[in-house]
Structure 1
Amino acid sequence: MIINHNVDAIIASNRSNRAGKTKANAMEKLSSGLRINQAADDAAGSAISQKMRAQIRGLEQADRNIQDGISLVQTAEAGLGSIQNPNLSRMRDLIVQALNGTLTQADRMNIQNELDNVKASINDIANNTEFNTIKVLCPPNSGNSTPPKWTPGTADIVFVIDITGSMGSKINEVKNNIDGFINKITENGIDVNMGLVTYGDVNLNQGGDPVVKTTMTSNLEEFKSYINSISLTGGGDYYESGLEGIADAANGALSYSFRADSAKQIILVTDAPVHDNNTDSDGGDGLSNFDIDDVAANVKSNGIKLTVVSTEEVDTKTQFERLYGTTGGEYINIISNFQEQLNSYASKILIDAGCKEEIKASKMPTLQLQVGANSGEQFEVELFDARTKNLGIDDIVIDPVDEAEKALEKVDKAMEVVSKQRSKFGAYQNALEHIGNNVGNYSYNITSAESRISDADMAKEAMEMSKSSIIEQSAEAMEKQSENMSQSIIDLMSKWKG
């Protein structure tokens, strides 16, 4: 028996402390519901659990992003629906009504006024349809009152057009594309003046058809009326020559007063050679009072570029090259990709007229929706410009009747475009909903996996707590008994002394 060290008490105390720690650990897990409350509980499991939790939170946010994306697409599609019906449908009704021959000029004017109001309504919808201040049916800077910076300039453009019998379809090509050509130049801030010179047969023996000139105008509609008033003459390639028209447009009897600082352009439209008075071996035929090379040099000396619009015939193009090549002009094939070539030519006139850079049309943005928890998991939504200009119905008129026919075609095309875009937005919505379902499934499964790592088994921990509590109480009882053992030694010593 010893008294310096109460080993039994130490053992009981250790057991009590150990049971207390186990009980406290079990209580912590029971109170939090987590098996891992600190890294020491499970170092590897803690690292895995934290990565999974980051994924779960990212997926939850991605699901909210997807719902916002669906709402945006629904907003855009609803705006297009309002544009299509009643606005485009009403425009179509009005145009069909205007095509009726029983209407008077005043009736058509009233219809035109309503058409203009409907166009304004479409633009209002396009400009004001927003989601979280994002314009979904027009470019983001469409309401910006600050104009882009450019150097303003002027352009003087004279069309010299062959009006012989074979030119009917070619002149129609010019009529159909003149709006886009001139509008591209004027939209970039260039002040444009336009003139028209026409010529037919030039038969030196019989006097030929006169060269006719119109006055310069800056009004596109007035210039179109010049072209629309053209009456084709008879004749053939052998007796026609554009050199008289070119020469007169440049500095002859019919010469225009080109502005000093303007981009001076002459555009020759013909499907036949331009005959000259040269009878040498270079191909001249002596049918004209003018020489090709002399006319080209004269045009160039006046600072004018001459562009030829014609058919792609080798002998004709070779002859025309002496005109446009000398003056720095272009050759445009009216038979193939005419609109595209004309658009490119307009860009070059812009540069000649002083534009430092062509003003590009504002593009609709492509939104990147974050639809996953990780980088690169994005979904693209292309927005659509639903303004009348982009739909091709900004300039429709119903007078005269042939313009109403064109307007009907434009509105039908616009309705088709809007329908396709609504379908596209509908496809976006369906795709986003499918992605949302997948994100939900992914989040559920990864949450389940993380739960198996970090969540506590409540029954097991309750059992552990009960066991530890019992052991702790038992150890405390044994500590009391160890004290009694020391007391027995004292009692023994008391008896020995007595």
Structure 2
Amino acid sequence: MAAISKVVDSYDFRENKAGLQNKHIIFVTNEVGDDNTMKNSTLANLNTKGIQVHGIHYSGFSDLAELASNTGGKSIDLSNANWGNELSTVIGGSIGGSAGTIIEEEKMATLFLQVGAIGGQTMKIELFDARTHKLGVDDLQLDPYTEAQKAILKIDEAIQLASSHRSKFGSYQNALQHIEKNVSNYKINLTNAESQIRDVDISKEIVTLTNQQVLLQASTAMLAQANQLTSSILQFLK
């Protein structure tokens, strides 16, 4: 009972989801009995925190079997030669299978942001779980004095941890802002290049049009002069 109480008080269990049970303790022991003076307080603590106990023990260990029964867990007798297969039903059925328990990854997800036009140009961002139970400040006590001192130390550690990760996310933000500026410049340069290829150079085309018009007018004037010269010669011959 002392060991189970220690686990309940010290271990960082995942949060239970609505309607689902995903807090479990599998306690394996070859002891045949236990001092039951802590049984009631341990059971109350388990039920308060929504934790199921699964006991793998000899049949004489009635206190552990009672904990399993009263928390919705399963009790397995080590004196049964088939206890190993029964254990697999606990892990497969009660914890990971038909009972609907969701096993979540303890580590936060890592994001990969596409920050370039080419495959593989990504930015890695490691998320940080800042929930109170992850920071160790979800069950602080201020009484007695010694617990208050422990609470202050835990709060200081949580502040340091949160500050370190804030610095990391600040660097992420600066990097993303720098990338955003580069992408904006790239967009402007790409638009200018596309415009030069697609759009007409008005000044150049006006010069070309004027040149062609001058040549056309000069040719017309020369042709008119040639026609007048032919007419003058014919008149002279007449």
Taking structure 2 as the reference length, the TM-score comes to 0.59
How far apart are the structure 1 equivalents of 2:102 and 2:179? 39
Shift of residue 419, structure 1, vs aligned partner: 0.7
Instruction: Tell me if 1:374 matches 2:185.
Output: no
Cα pair distance change 1:427/1:256, threshold 3 Å:
closer
Letter in 2 for 1:178: V
Instruction: Tell me if 1:214 matches 2:39.
Output: yes
Instruction: Tell me if 1:353 matches 2:99.
Output: no
1:249 aligned partner: 61
Give the SS at the match of 2:163. helix
Task: Check the 8 A contact 2:137/2:158 in 1, yes or no.
Answer: yes
Query: 1:58-112 CA deviation, whole Å, 9 max, x = no partner?
Result: xxxxxxxxxxxxxxxxxxxxxxxxxxxxxxxxxxxxxxxxxxxxxxxxxxxxxxx
Letter in 1 for 2:141: V
Task: Check the 8 A contact 1:366/1:381 in 2, yes or no.
Answer: yes
Task: Check the 8 A contact 1:182/1:220 in 2, yes or no.
Answer: no
How far apart are the structure 1 equivalents of 2:207 and 2:12? 88
How far apart are the structure 1 equivalents of 2:129 and 2:154? 16
Shift of residue 368, structure 1, vs aligned partner: 4.2
Cα pair distance change 1:265/1:355, threshold 3 Å:
same
2:30 aligned partner: none
How far apart are the structure 2 equivalents of 1:256 and 1:387? 33
2:138 aligned partner: 394
Task: Check the 8 A contact 2:43/2:67 in 1, yes or no.
Answer: no
2:74 aligned partner: 263
How far apart are the structure 1 equivalents of 2:162 and 2:140? 17
Of 12, 21, 24, 1:189 maps to 21
Cα pair distance change 1:247/1:368, threshold 3 Å:
closer
Task: Check the 8 A contact 2:34/2:61 in 1, yes or no.
Answer: no
Instruction: Tell me if 1:421 matches 2:165.
Output: yes
Letter in 2 for 1:249: F
Cα pair distance change 1:435/1:377, threshold 3 Å:
same
Shift of residue 415, structure 1, vs aligned partner: 1.3
Cα pair distance change 1:191/1:176, threshold 3 Å:
closer
Give the SS at the match of 1:374. coil
How far apart are the structure 1 equivalents of 2:23 and 2:164? 37
Shift of residue 422, structure 1, vs aligned partner: 0.7
Task: Check the 8 A contact 1:393/1:414 in 2, yes or no.
Answer: yes
How far apart are the structure 2 equivalents of 1:191 and 1:397? 23
Give the SS at the match of 1:381. strand
Query: 1:36-71 CA deviation, whole Å, 9 max, x = no partner?
Result: xxxxxxxxxxxxxxxxxxxxxxxxxxxxxxxxxxxx
Taking structure 1 as the reference length, the TM-score comes to 0.33
Shift of residue 386, structure 1, vs aligned partner: 2.9
Matches within 5 A, 1:33-182: 159=1, 175-179=5-9
Of 435, 441, 450, 2:179 maps to 435
How far apart are the structure 2 equivalents of 1:423 and 1:354? 38
Task: Check the 8 A contact 2:22/2:103 in 1, yes or no.
Answer: no
Q: State the Cα RMSD in Å.
A: 5.1
What stretches of structure 1 of length at least 5 have no aligned partner?
A: 1-158, 162-170, 200-210, 225-244, 267-295, 301-324, 330-344
Give the SS at the match of 2:128. coil
Query: 1:157-176 CA deviation, whole Å, 9 max, x = no partner?
Result: xx4x6xxxxxxxxx6xx654
Alignment length, in residue pairs? 217
Letter in 2 for 1:435: I
Give the SS at the match of 1:353. helix
| Identity fraction in percent | 33
Query: 1:341-361 CA deviation, whole Å, 9 max, x = no partner?
Result: xxxx9x985545364164133
Task: Check the 8 A contact 1:198/1:213 in 2, yes or no.
Answer: no
How far apart are the structure 1 equivalents of 2:214 and 2:162? 78
Q: Which has the larger radius of gyration?
A: 1
Query: 1:303-349 CA deviation, whole Å, 9 max, x = no partner?
Result: xxxxxxxxxxxxxxxxxxxxxx98449xxxxxxxxxxxxxxx9x985
Point out which structure has higher relative CO (alpha carbons under 8 A, 6+ apart).
1
Cα pair distance change 1:491/1:180, threshold 3 Å:
farther
What stretches of structure 2 of length at least 5 have no aligned partner?
A: 26-32, 50-56
How far apart are the structure 1 equivalents of 2:235 and 2:160? 111
Instruction: Tell me if 1:404 matches 2:136.
Output: no
How far apart are the structure 2 equivalents of 1:265 and 1:223? 24
How far apart are the structure 2 equivalents of 1:416 and 1:182? 19
Cα pair distance change 1:185/1:392, threshold 3 Å:
closer
Task: Check the 8 A contact 2:65/2:75 in 1, yes or no.
Answer: no
Shift of residue 455, structure 1, vs aligned partner: 7.7
